Chain A
Amino acid sequence: MSALLQVEGLVKTFSVPAGLVGSRSVSAVAGVSLHVDRAEVLGLVGESGSGKTTLGRCVLGMTPVDGGSITFDGAEVTALRGRRRAEFRRRVQPVFQDPYASLDPRWRVGRSIREALDAHRTGTRANRHQRVLDLLDRVGLSPSYAERLPRQLSGGQRQRVGVAAALASGPDLIVADEPVSALDVSVQAQVLNLFADLQRDLGVAVLFIAHDLAVVEHLSQRVAVMYLGRIAEVASTRDIFAGPSHPYTRALVAAIPHPDPEHRIDVVPLSGEIPSPLDPPAGCRFHPRCPLVTDICHTVRPDLEPVSSTQLAACLVTAPPTPAHAPH
């Protein structure tokens, strides 16, 4: 069976003003391929400037793409118009870091969720009120919350309302961008439990974008690691955390501050900082910081190559290309 979401060679470049009249291009996503299976949580991790948020916005259709393709359930997303576009928007829903951004502060919670049901013409008008209450129950909120305003809710409750609104249309895929990073750990636990329940009970697939590796390891079946607009590695969660192949993934995993004093970081895993996407390095974009760098890394851009049946890495040293695909 084909993947629910398939991204191939995606390119997104932004133009930023430079000087008085000129402009420069920022290569935010530079040829990214990945897929999300049905009912799967794919974690997408990366540091600031990695392009993970831009990738999420492209998948949601919120940002036009400059190249490559995005197919959802077999159909090319960028070509969808009219009713089929509306159907895509029903089936792919966003959840953002700040639930304030997706809730109208003047509307009671019930109305915000109701709006989502009305927009997608879900169910009959008569049973939509019951559906609002069902959705609140689904995210662990009692019916009385339908009458509250967003400002009367705590951060965790607001994020659960945000998830309820995303669920209103009965989506197959949720694109969640840092949905728990603004929350305290005890509140974060509620929202993470909710995402796990959605996947298990409703079979909703999630593209879970986050910078927190512990959160991603806990929730995801597979993980994609982005660095400066490229996928460095994509593999099963176990491979990423127990046997990372790409030198950047290795450094990232080694930098995790484990909540375990017996498991301290002994050697700082990576020196230097992520370069500006205004002027990305040639060849492998990680080469200026890479401990394993070789001459060809300066000039040849690595593509994802299989390391095992569950692991792909874009590294000329740890995952050298097979002769058939060798770059010239």
Chain B
Amino acid sequence: MTGPVLAVQDLRVGFATPQGLVSAVDGVSLTVGAGEVVGLVGESGCGKSTLANAVLGLLPAAAQVSGAAQLDGEQLLGLEESRLRRLRGDRISMVFQDPSTSLDPTFAVGEQVAETIRAHRRVSRADARAQAVRLMSEVGIPDAARRYGDAPHRFSGGMRQRIVIAAALANQPAMLIADEPTTALDVTIQAQILSLIAGLCRDRGTAVLLITHDLGVVAQICDRVGVMYAGQLVEEAPVRRLFAQPQHPYTRALLGALPTADARPGGLTVIPGQVPDLSGPLPGCRFLDRCPQARPECPTRPDPVTVGDTRVACWDVSARLVPEGSQP
């Protein structure tokens, strides 16, 4: 069996601020295999986008990054910018929330897709154009050959996101990182784009890391999911397992906070308190102050334990595990 396409190991990201060092990502490990969609879910400020940007080499130079992030075995962290430029858009690509930031407003959309190909491949203009039209058509741009020369503003938000996806997939990347790709879109368009990403991943074997705040999106297209809280990965599991048997108290609270038809109005789970200040000293579990299951051990950092096929970092879960060998 071949190894994972992306392997993130003990990734840490810190930002120096006048208030002290803000620890935005704190020792996250995770893998994404070929043809697999892995979700990374969490609320604002949990570090999920910072992790993605660290992997892509898009953090400001002042960010303090340590750990490892390997793409097909090649270490990405600390790589020279020239090498990163060659990888981005080729072996690893990205799709962000707002397609307008990824597209140059003054250039024809088709040219931008073709340009992505020519930046990494020795192909003629005519061939690049033909490939771009085929890609645009594949991601669902109607009448792609005729729309090739249109500027981005001639397209709706959903269509622009399709063009960004076409450009991201132009060079058959092994890895696609999508950061809130449907957050700005209406629900019927979101369904189209999610189906597009899941279908392309399945057909081409692309590994996808999907970063989102939306547990509905996670449930729809992810195979596995990691839950982040305040810079830490608190739980990681196959998607069905996460929703059916959440282990970490934060994951359970998050699922209980989701509005559903079955939940009594007024009865949604509320998490008391607030996310801790990430510039303070936070040696232990960062959910400690808000956790209904807090224990004396929690001020020291819990090591992840395995429960079935879930990996979870929680002292309370560890304490309830029957020690191996003690069973009759």
| A interface residue numbers (CB < 8 A to B) | 47-48, 154, 184-190, 192-193, 196-197, 199-200, 211, 213-215, 217-219, 237, 241, 251-252, 254-265, 268-271, 273-274
Report which residue of A218, A251, A274 has the largest number of chain B beta carbons within 10 angstroms of its beta carbon.
A218
Residue of A nearest to B253 (CB): A186
Given A186-B270, A258-B216, do A265 and B240 touch, yes or no (CB 8 Å)?
Answer: no
How many angstroms between the C-alpha atoms of A271 and B189 in the bound complex?
8
Chain B positions within 8 Å of A185 at CB level: 43, 213, 215, 254, 257-258
Measured CA separation A187–B213 after assembly (Å): 13
Give A275's nearest chain B residue, CB to CB.
B156
Give A188 to B258 CA distance when docked, in angstroms: 9
Indicate which residue in A186, A188, A200, A268 contacts B191 across the interface (CB closer than 8 Å): A268
Closest-CB distance, A205 to chain B (whole angstroms): 14
- Chain B residues with Cβ below 8 Å from A218 are 259-261, 263, 265, 268
What residues of B have a CB within 8 angstroms of the CB of A189 in the complex?
256-259, 268-271
Given contacts A154-B274, A192-B259, contact A255 B188 (CB under 8 A): yes
Q: How large, as a class, is the contact surface on chain B?
A: 35 or more
CB A185 to nearest CB in B, in angstroms, measures: 5
Which residues in A have their C-beta under 8 angstroms from that of B187? 47, 211, 213, 252, 255-257
How many Å lie between the Cα of A260 and that of B246 in the bound state?
Answer: 13
User: A270 contacts which of B188, B215, B268, B270 (Cβ < 8 Å)?
Assistant: B188
Bound form: Cα–Cα A259–B216 in Å: 4
| Assembled-state Cα–Cα distance A154/B267 (Å) | 22
- Distance of A296 Cα from B219 Cα, bound (Å): 40
List of B residues within 8 angstroms of A215 by Cβ: 259
Cβ-neighbour of A214 out of B239, B254, B255, B258 (below 8 A): B258
Contacts of A48 in B (CB 8 A): 186
Chain A CB within 8 A of B190 CB: yes
Q: Which 4 pairs of residues, A with B, have the shortest CB-CB distance?
A: A257-B216, A218-B259, A196-B266, A196-B265
Chain B residues whose C-beta falls within 8 Å of the C-beta of A211 in the assembled complex: 186-187
> Which residues of A have CB within 8 Å of B215?
185, 259
**B39 smallest CB distance to A (angstroms):** 11
CB neighbours of B221 from chain A (8 A): 264
- Assess whether A197 is in contact with B266, with CB atoms less than 8 Å apart: yes
Please, which residues of chain B bring their CB within 8 A of the CB of A260? Answer: 219, 243
For B250, give the chain A residue with the smallest CB separation. Answer: A186
Q: Which B residues lie within 8 Å of A196 (CB)? A: 265-267
| CB < 8 Å neighbour of B266 from A186, A187, A193, A259 | A193
Q: Which B residues lie within 8 Å of A47 (CB)?
A: 186-189
**Which residues 171-190 in B have Cβ within 8 Å of A in the complex?**
186-190
| Additional 13 contacts, C-beta under 8 A, given A218-B263, A257-B187, A265-B191 | A48-B186, A185-B213, A192-B265, A193-B268, A193-B270, A196-B265, A200-B266, A218-B261, A255-B187, A259-B216, A261-B219, A263-B219, A264-B220
> Chain A: which residue is nearest B223 at the CB level?
A261
B194 neighbours in A (Cβ, 8 Å) = 257, 265
Q: Is the CB of A214 within 8 A of B216?
A: yes
Asked if B195 CB lies within 8 Å of chain A CBs, one says yes
Residue of chain B at shortest CB distance from A213: B187
Which residues in A have their C-beta under 8 angstroms from that of B190?
Answer: 255, 257
Task: Indicate if the CB atoms of A186 and B257 lie closer than 8 Å.
Answer: yes
> B159 and A261: CB pair below 8 A?
no
Partner of A251, one of B188, B195, B255, B258: B188
| B218 close to A259 (CB less than 8 A) | yes
Residue among A241, A252, A259, A261 making CB contact with B188, cutoff 8 Å: A252
Tell me, in angstroms, the Cα distance from A262 to B219 when the chains sit together: 8
Q: Is B192 an interface residue (CB 8 A)?
A: yes
Pair B266/A257 contact, Cβ less than 8 Å: no
| In the complex, chain A residues whose CB is within 8 Å of the CB of B217 | 257
Q: Is B186 within 8 A of A219, CB to CB? A: no
Asked if B110 is an interface residue, CB under 8 A from chain A, the answer is: no
B256 / chain A contacts, CB cutoff of 8 Å: 189
Neighbouring B residues of A154 by C-beta, 8 Å: 274
Judge whether A219 and B259 touch: CB under 8 Å: yes
A32 to chain B, nearest CB (A): 20
Check B316 for interface membership: any CB of A closer than 8 A. Answer: no
A265 contacts B195, CB within 8 Å? yes
A219 CA to B264 CA in the complex, in Å?
9
Verify A241–B261 contact, CB threshold 8 A: yes
Contact partner of A261 (CB less than 8 A), chosen from B191, B239, B253, B270, is B239
A contact residues around B43 at 8 Å (CB):
184-187
B245 interface residue (CB < 8 Å to A): no
B270 touches A217 (CB 8 A): no
Interface flags, B263-292, vs A, CB<8A=1, else 0: 101111111001000000000000000000
Is there an interface contact between A184 and B191, defined as CB atoms closer than 8 Å?
no
With a cutoff of 8 Å between Cβ atoms, the chain B residues found around residue A184 in the complex are: 43-44, 213
